[in-house]
Amino acid sequence: KELFALDGKFANFSENDLERRNTIAQLLGDWGLVTLLNKENAENKAPLSQIKVLAFKEKDEWDLQAKYNIGKKVDDDEESAEV
């Protein structure tokens, strides 16, 4: 939702979205995949029960669909249909 907002599109980014983002960032940091520069900005976290983490070997059992495509231009007609 943050990426949609950064692109100037409609996004209803809630406090729970922020907490889930922080939890995911912390997990990525724990796994050594990212380094959190401002850890104090990611203190409010959602419970892990709100986040599904898939093992790589299970990925074929799921229908994973991207909700956001980086760099993809959206026509005005498509954008209004999403709102």
Check if the beta carbon of residue 14 is closer than 8 Å to that of residue 21: no
Model pTM?
0.67
Buried b (16+ CB within 10 A) or exposed e, 37-75: eeeeebeebbeeeeeeeeeeeeeeeeeeeeeeeeeeeee
pLDDT above 70 for 18: yes
pLDDT tens column, 19-57: 988 999 999 999 999 999 988 887 888 888 888 888 999
